[in-house]
């Protein structure tokens, strides 16, 4: 189990080109289910979702972002929201929603699908809510564009671990830190 989780973490890439094949509602629900099993402070589960596969709605949403090509090309979108009325702590509720979204991306990978986390669209979040008929009670956190990847040749990179670890206080005799 832990091996497949690590594998999904390391092999997941943002997918921005999709085939025309549609994504089943069952898969979209599974992705959301993985999202809602993320931890949240007080287990308040402040996240909410809107599922969009309708072509007309996708076309309208595509006009709200610089990444219209991705939105138009993805057979499915999931808009992830924070429900302001379910919140108890600004920072913690945003952190929980980030955990939820990452769970969703890993679930997408596990289902053999691909996705990209779209954040630029937040610039027009009011417009997105208007298109989806949602009030300002729901604060848009991200839109996930989901589909079957056209290919998996995407490359990404990360800086070395040593850049991120500020301090290490090792118990004498414990394993030597490996770069």
Ligand X SMILES: Cc1cc2nc3c(=O)[nH]c(=O)nc-3n(C[C@H](O)[C@H](O)[C@H](O)COP(=O)(O)O)c2cc1C
- Contact positions vs ligand X (CB under 6 A): 13-14, 16, 67, 116-120, 154, 156
User: By C-beta, is 9 or 25 nearer to ligand X?
Assistant: 9
Cβ contact 115:145 at 8 Å: yes
User: By C-beta, is 131 or 141 nearer to ligand X?
Assistant: 141
Q: What is the DSSP letter of 94?
A: H
Among candidate residues 150, 161, 82, the one with its CA nearest the CA of residue 116: 150
Rounded least distance, CB 105 to ligand X, Å: 8
Q: What is the DSSP letter of 18?
A: B
Q: How many CA atoms lie within 13 A of 61 on its CB side?
A: 33
Rounded least distance, CB 172 to ligand X, Å: 37
Distance, in Å, from the CA atom of 127 to the CA atom of 122, rounded to the nearest integer, reads 9
Which whole-number Å values give the CA distances from 58 to 43, 105, 108, 115, 134, in the listed order?
32, 20, 19, 15, 16
Rounded least distance, CB 70 to ligand X, Å: 6
User: By C-beta, is 14 or 53 nearer to ligand X?
Assistant: 14
Cβ contact 59:6 at 8 Å: no
Among candidate residues 145, 146, 156, 138, the one with its CA nearest the CA of residue 65: 145
User: By C-beta, is 25 or 107 nearer to ligand X?
Assistant: 107
Rounded least distance, CB 168 to ligand X, Å: 26
Rounded least distance, CB 99 to ligand X, Å: 12
User: By C-beta, is 120 or 137 nearer to ligand X?
Assistant: 120
Distance, in Å, from the CA atom of 30 to the CA atom of 48, rounded to the nearest integer, reads 14
Q: Which residue is nearest to ligand X (CB)?
A: 119
């Amino acid at each position: 189990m832990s091996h497949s989780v690590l594998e999904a973490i390391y092999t997941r890439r943002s997918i921005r080109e999709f085939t025309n094949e549609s994504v089943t509602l069952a898969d979209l629900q599974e992705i959301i289910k993985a999202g809602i099993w993320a931890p949240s402070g007080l287990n308040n589960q402040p996240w909410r979702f809107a599922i969009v596969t309708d072509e007309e709605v996708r076309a309208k949403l595509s006009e709200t972002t610089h990444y219209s090509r991705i939105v138009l090309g993805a057979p499915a979108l999931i808009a992830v929201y924070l429900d302001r009325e379910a919140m108890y702590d600004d920072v913690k509720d945003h952190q929980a929603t980030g955990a939820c979204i990452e769970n969703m991306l890993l679930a997408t990978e596990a289902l053999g699908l691909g996705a990209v986390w779209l954040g630029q669209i937040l610039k027009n979040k009011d417009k997105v809510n208007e298109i989806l008929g949602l009030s300002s009670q729901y604060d848009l956190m991200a839109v996930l564009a989901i589909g079957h990847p056209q290919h998996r040749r995407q490359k990404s990179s990360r800086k070395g671990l040593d850049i991120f670890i500020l301090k290490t206080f090792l118990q004498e005799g414990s394993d030597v830190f490996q770069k």
